Chain A
Amino acid sequence: MNAFDESDEEDNNPFSGTNHLYASGIAAVHEGQDDFVPPAILTDIQEKEESREELMNQLFGGETSNIVDSQQDSVIGLQSEYREPSLEREQPQSESRIPTFSSQIEDRKIKIIDAGHFRDAYGKYAIGYTIEFAGKQVVRRYSEFDTLRHALYRLLPTVIVPPIPSKHPLIRYFLNPLSAEKDIRIIERRKRLLSLFLSNCYAVEEIREHVVFTKFLDPEQNWRNVINSPPISIIPTNNLLAPPLQPTKPSPLHLLLPNVTLSSNRGEDYEMSEEMLEKERWFKDTEDILKKFEKVLQPLEKTSKQNRVHFQSLASSLAELGAYYNAFSLEGNILTIKDKLQLVDELSKGIEKVGQAIDVNYVSTEIVSEHVMTLIEEPVAEMLQFIVEARYVLRFRALKMTQFCIVDSTIKKRKARINALQEAQEQMQRLEEALRQNAEQSPTVAQAVKNMDNNGAATAGSASSPNQMPQNKERGTNGWTDLFKSKGSHRPRSSSTAKELAPHLLSDDQRKEEVAKITQELQKLNECFKLITKDILQVNSSVSNSFQHLVSYLKDRFSVIFKSFAHVLLVWLKDSLLAWQNARAMINNIQVT
């Protein structure tokens, strides 16, 4: 009978649920005109009857599964011309066949299966993300992910730690704390990206096997306790003065290494060996590649953001358009009704189908816009974050290299100094010998030698005081930490109060004292050199590993983006095509004379 009496029929009123004039329906529906669609028209074209409500469900409820499902069904060729809408509702909404990043790796070991309110160990309500790993589930909060990431970053300075979505602005948080109901989008986004973060972490051996990471996945562990206990609690403040691969492992010798910053000089014109230069070039090249990636990715991110916004506004325009077509189909398309009921009916249906096609367009456009975000915008942003992270690792490596150069050049300088001192000593001895022999013969020379000795002592004494420079005093700390302090003239403060003076100005004793000191230093320095050489080897291999991983990850990412976005576009195109073909069939059915 009347289609509008039956609840399981579609509700065509596009305005229902709004404040619109037509919200409660339009009266201009003729009695006895039911919504029967002649099957003949639709036998070869799959019918897809979907009410707006369902479309909305697909859109905002489950992850677009229905569209895909029904698409698949229609490809297979479902026999019934008229699909019961309720059937579609019953279909599981959870699994999506669109290869999103969160589902493309089916055998993914770690995933976040849920996000929402939970009560933490202290009885406070918060938004938690349920991680499933090795058959166990653990709920962690965003802040816990954040601290995990930070801990990993500090514990593994040679490893590019995968990024997590940025915090949201603190001010917004105060004004409007996250609630599962309100910020479903932010929570969904975090769920996606945190899940990706975990998988990316899992893909890196150093992280996968790190105790902090395993504790994070362990439901038995209270994260707050983990943070306050080793290894996190004993992370040294300066990674450079600790073993690079395991900063928490005690190593007193590392404390002797020079503390460098990016502005530190590597030592004057430090010459590296050919082998090292080659390594340096490799890292330089890698850095360049990353820069190029960044140059491509940044505009890509911007464009995809715009693209998403454009798709969204297109979708909202289409929504409105569909609504007006539907209104148009129900009323006012004919001025004189006499004798033309048949025509009115056919025309209405044609227009209605066009409206439906536009509705389908709207929904699939909305889905595309959603996927532009999840499949392009977010991954691209993540890739950019990765590159930023990679920079930290590169910087660490560069600092390590600087340390190496400084140690090496210091050793060379010390050795040179010892040689100079020893040479001077020998020269002095020769000179003294000559003077002594001459003085024995000549009283004039003997007098001169006497004067010289006095002067020499005075000069040495006066030279010492202005050289006690303020910065030397400030820098002065105890022990070996000062081993490399002054750059140009590496003179340990403990050895002498005097600045490095030309060797022949020093007295014999001073020379001897200095040689002894420097020899002692050299011993330490050689130990440092061994240490830093080992460090560099470790750092280089670990970092280059990490970079190879990153570059191939970036490339893989592009492939995945292409593939999944192509798929999304195809779904959009197929759905829209089908809807328009349906509309075309109904338009054909309008009989005009």
Chain B
Amino acid sequence: MVESLNAGLPRQLSIIVSDPQKQRGEQGKSSFYVTYQISTKTDDKSYHEAHFKNRPHDAAAANEANIIVVHRRYSDFLLLQSILSQDHATCVIPPLPDKKVFQYIAGDRFSQSFTQKRCHSLQNFLRRISQHPTLSQSQVLMTFLVSSDWEAYRRSLSGSLGNNKEEVSDTFMNAFKTVHNQSEEFVEIKEKSDKLDHNVSKIDKIFHRVVKKQDSISEDYSKFSAHLQELQELVASNSSEDDELRSKVKLFNHGISQLSYGLKDLSKFLDYEYIVDLKDLEHYIDSVNQTVRLKDQKQIDYEELSDYLTRSINEKSNLISGYGGGNFFTSKLEELAGINQEAARREKISKLETKITSLTTEVDSAKEVADAFEREALKEVGIFEEIKTKELKASLASLADSQIEFYKKMLDTWTKVEEGL
């Protein structure tokens, strides 16, 4: 069920998703879609070989330094995700950005802000997969990243992929059951992931507000700049002292408009990248929770079974000791019906014995499954942890970088402005 973790040579797999392009559909004149360019850089030979295979005429393509470029659309990502999630049921599959049905209706899905955000989110998705020890080994991933025949591949698969409806209903039936003996580790994991989720979503929300405020400040300064332009014209007329003031107004205005642009750029970064990172992290936490729930499911199965087993054993021992074994009325009824109580009792005991034997093996295997799931879940949480930490570092770093870039640039601009004033 689960691929053994390939502890083989560590390899580098860095992926950039960029350049969303609006494309016209093949048949329908009015159908458009957006493709994203995926650039992969890797030292894994097999990638280059696979890439090379497709285009034998291009001999230089197999070079490891080369960047493999393919174009995929959102539905391709969905397919990849669905294959991976069925192949690796215990893994935490990174989430994809929302389908955003609303934007489809509103016709907004080709806007820059929409595709840029989605592009960044798709990159997060692929990076997470590439950092996952199991998922990154997937052949499907390689095909996705490399193959020029993906289109055909996808078409042949479409419709023939099973779905996991069963699991969903199963999960639903047990939705109100909880695990009795949750291990301490998982109690803590749950608690912490809740807190993490809470914090991240709060930060996400507030950042949203910050972006809005920054935008309105940027707006203010562009208005400001217009007023200053008028002032500049007003003092344009007269004396030499006016000339001095005019050049001051001009300089100040330059600073103000730069500030306006700078703020806008900063807001754009926050909106298109940092907030997307936060959102993706929230979704990723959801995925972890799903995996943990799946583990819980298996544990509940085991607990139910062992419960049943315990009850059967109790019943059996009651029968053997002669008490109970059905209530007073049942035994009275059986007596009246002329059933030989002793024989009936023996029969029941032997039935229970067979049941207990089969249950015992089932409980054992359920326990094995549950334990395996628990191990896998723990491992997955660990992997999530690593990827998340890397991601946090990267996103915080780019946040800080963008802030530093903004402040540095503004500092330069305004230092010059101040000198001139």
A521 to chain B, nearest CB (A): 46
Q: Are B399 and A573 in contact (CB under 8 A)?
A: no
17 contacts between A and B (CB under 8 A): A296-B227, A300-B227, A314-B213, A317-B209, A320-B206, A327-B199, A332-B198, A332-B199, A347-B389, A351-B392, A357-B400, A566-B414, A569-B410, A576-B407, A577-B407, A584-B404, A592-B393
Q: Is B154 an interface residue, CB under 8 A from the partner? A: no
Query: Complex Cα distance A318/B382, Å?
Result: 32
B16 within 8 A of A: no
User: How near does chain B come to A307, taking the closest CB pair, in angstroms?
Assistant: 4
Task: Find A334's partner among B199, B200, B385 (CB 8 Å cutoff).
Answer: B385
A residues less than 8 Å from B231 (CB atoms): 296, 300, 558
Q: How far is the CA of A581 from the CA of B403 in the complex (A)?
A: 9
Contact of B378 among A310, A336, A343 (CB under 8 A): A336
Q: Indicate if B386 sits at the interface (CB-CB under 8 A).
A: yes
Q: Which 9 A-B pairs have the closest CB atoms?
A: A332-B195, A577-B407, A314-B213, A307-B220, A584-B400, A562-B252, A580-B403, A332-B196, A328-B199
Residues of chain A with a CB closer than 8 A to B230's CB: 295-296
- Contact, CB under 8 Å: B227 / A303: yes
* Residues of chain B lying within 8 A (CB to CB) of residue A335: 188-189, 192-193, 196, 288, 381, 384-385
- Interface pick from B97-105, B137-145, B242-250, B320-328: B242-250
Within 8 Å of chain A (Cβ to Cβ): is B3?
A: no
B220 surroundings in chain A (CB, below 8 A): 303, 306-307, 310
Instruction: Label chain A's interface by main secondary structure.
Output: helix
Determine whether the beta carbon of B382 is less than 8 Å from that of A336.
yes
Q: Does A313 contact B (CB under 8 A)?
A: yes
- Residues from chain A with Cβ under 8 Å of B199 in the complex: 324, 327-328, 331-332
Instruction: Return the chain A residue nearest B244 by Cβ.
Output: A559
Pick from A324, A334, A343, A354: contact of B396, CB below 8 A: A354
Interface string of A563-587 (1 = CB under 8 A from B): 1011101100110110011011001
Question: Contact partner of A314 among B217, B399, B411, CB < 8 A?
Answer: B217
Determine how close the nearest CB of chain B comes to the CB of A435; give it in whole angstroms: 70
* CB closest chain-A residue, reference B232: A296
Judged by a CB distance under 8 angstroms, whether B234 is at the interface is: yes
Q: Is B170 an interface residue (CB 8 A)?
A: no
Contact with B along A304-316 (1 / 0, CB 8 A): 1011001101100
Which residues from A are CB-within-8-Å of B196? Answer: 332-333, 335
Instruction: Say whether A584 contacts B384, CB under 8 Å.
Output: no
Instruction: State whether the Cβ of B359 lies closer than 8 Å to any Cβ in chain A.
Output: no
Name the residue on A nearest B227 (C-beta).
A300
B415 interfacial contact with A, CB 8 Å? yes
Q: Are A310 and B213 in contact (CB under 8 A)?
A: yes
CB of A321 closer than 8 Å to a CB of B? yes
- Chain B 192-219, CB within 8 Å of chain A: the 1/0 string? 1101101110110011011001101100
A350 CB-CB contact with B under 8 Å: yes
Q: Select from chain A the residue with minimum beta-carbon distance to B400.
A: A584
Q: How far does the Cβ of B264 sit from chain A's closest Cβ, in whole Å?
A: 14
Q: Which of B396, B408, B415 has the most CB of A within 10 A?
A: B396
Q: How long is the Cα–Cα vector from A590 to B224 in the complex, in angstroms?
A: 42
Would you list which residues of chain A between 326 and 353 have a CB under 8 Å from chain B? 327-328, 331-336, 340, 343, 347, 350-351
A221 at the interface (CB under 8 A from B): no
Instruction: Using CB atoms and an 8 Å cutoff, list the residues of chain B in contact with chain A.
Output: 185, 188-189, 192-193, 195-196, 198-200, 202-203, 206-207, 209-210, 213-214, 216-217, 220-221, 223-224, 227, 230-231, 234-235, 241-242, 245, 248-249, 251-252, 255, 259, 288, 378, 381-382, 384-386, 389-390, 392-393, 396-397, 399-401, 403-404, 407-408, 410-411, 414-415, 417-418, 421
Contact check, B224 vs A321: say whether CB atoms are below 8 A apart: no
Which A residues lie within 8 Å of B259 (CB)? Answer: 569
Kindly list chain A residues whose C-beta atoms are within 8 Å of the C-beta of B378: 336
Chain B residues, CB < 8 A from A580:
400, 403-404, 407
Rounded to whole Å, the gap between the CB of B195 and the closest CB of chain A is 3
Q: Which residue of A lies closest to B196 (CB)?
A: A332
* A526 on interface, CB distance cutoff 8 Å: no
Q: Contact between A570 and B234 (Cβ–Cβ < 8 Å)?
A: no
Which residues from A are CB-within-8-Å of B251?
562
Which B residues touch A565, using CB under 8 A? 252
Taking a contact as CB atoms under 8 Å apart, the answer to whether B235 and A562 are in contact is: no
Main secondary structure, interface of B, reads: helix
Evaluate whether A562 and B386 lie within 8 angstroms (CB atoms) in the complex, with A299-B227, A318-B210, A573-B407 already known.
no
A350 to B395, CA, bound (A): 11
Q: Quick check: A573 and B410 within 8 Å, CB to CB?
A: yes
Q: How far is the CA of A317 from the CA of B204 in the complex (A)?
A: 12
Q: B192, B206, B235 — which one has the most chain A CB atoms within 10 A of its CB?
A: B206
B260 to chain A, nearest CB (A): 11
Question: CB of A215 within 8 A of chain B?
Answer: no
What's the least CB distance linking A587 to chain B, in Å?
A: 5
Q: Shortest distance in angstroms between B129's beta carbon and chain A's nearest beta carbon? A: 17
* Interface residue from A296, A307, A592 paired with B390 (Cβ < 8 Å): A592
- Of the listed residues B185, B195, B221, the one surrounded by the most CB atoms of chain A closer than 10 A to its CB is B195
Judged by a CB distance under 8 angstroms, whether A293 is at the interface is yes
| Inter-chain contact B195/A566, CB cutoff 8 Å | no
- In the bound complex, residues from chain A placing their C-beta under 8 Å from that of B217 are 307, 310-311, 314
Task: Say how far B17's CB is from chain A's closest CB, in angstroms.
Answer: 21
Contact between A336 and B185, CB atoms less than 8 A apart? yes
| B contact residues around A304 at 8 Å (CB) | 224
- Chain A residues whose C-beta falls within 8 Å of the C-beta of B202 in the assembled complex: 324
Q: How far in angstroms is the closest Cβ of chain A from B316?
A: 42
A314 and B414: CB pair below 8 A?
A: no
- Contact assessment for A354 and B252 in the assembled complex, using a CB-CB cutoff below 8 Å: no
- Asked whether any CB of chain B lies closer than 8 Å to the CB of A555, the reply is yes
Considering only CB atoms, which chain A residue lies closest to B421 in the complex?
Answer: A563
| Complex CA–CA separation, A565 to B421 (angstroms) | 11
| CB-based nearest A residue for B259 | A569
**A317–B211 CA distance with the chains assembled, in angstroms:** 10
What residue of chain B has the Cβ atom nearest to residue A584's Cβ?
A: B400
Q: Is the CB of B396 within 8 A of A587?
A: yes
- CB pair A296 B234 closer than 8 Å: yes
Residue pair A354, B400 in contact (C-beta under 8 Å): yes
Contact B411 A587 (CB under 8 A): no
CB distance from A44 to the nearest CB of B (A): 14
**Residue of B whose beta carbon sits closest to that of A347:** B389
Asked if A354 contacts B399 (CB within 8 A), the reply is yes
Cα–Cα distance between A307 and B196 once the two chains are bound (Å): 34
Q: How far is the CB of A26 from chain B (nearest CB, A)?
A: 10
A273 at the interface (CB under 8 A from B): no
